[in-house]
Amino acid sequence: MFFAKVRAYDEARSLSSEKLSQSLHEQQLKEVKARLQDVQAKASEEASEIQSVMDELEHVRKISQY
């Protein structure tokens, strides 16, 4: 009987630890995904700004040729 209780305690503790580990992993994954989305949004904004500057440069070059 004692060993059955010890085994049940060990199993419950192990399961609790696994759930906690999984929960932490899921939280970390959410945080990483959020940071990735932020970085992608910034990269998109920067790409748009670069394209705008390139378009303006091309316009200035065309004007200066005349």
The DSSP code sequence of the chain is -HHHHHHHHHHHHHHHHHHHHHHHHHHHHHHHHHHHHHHHHHHHHHHHHHHHHHHHHHHHHHHHH-
| CA 20 to each of CA 13, 14, 15, 48, 62: distance values in angstroms, whole numbers, following the listed order | 10, 10, 9, 42, 63
Question: For residue 51, what pLDDT is reported?
Answer: 98
Predicted local distance difference test score (pLDDT) of residue 6? 67
Structure tokens at 15: 């399961």
Residue 66 has pLDDT above 90, yes or no: no
Give the rounded percent of residues in the chain with a pLDDT score beyond 90. 59
Domain spans of the chain, in order of start: 1-66
Q: Once rounded to an integer, what is the mean pLDDT over residues 44-61? A: 97
Determine the pLDDT at residue 43.
98
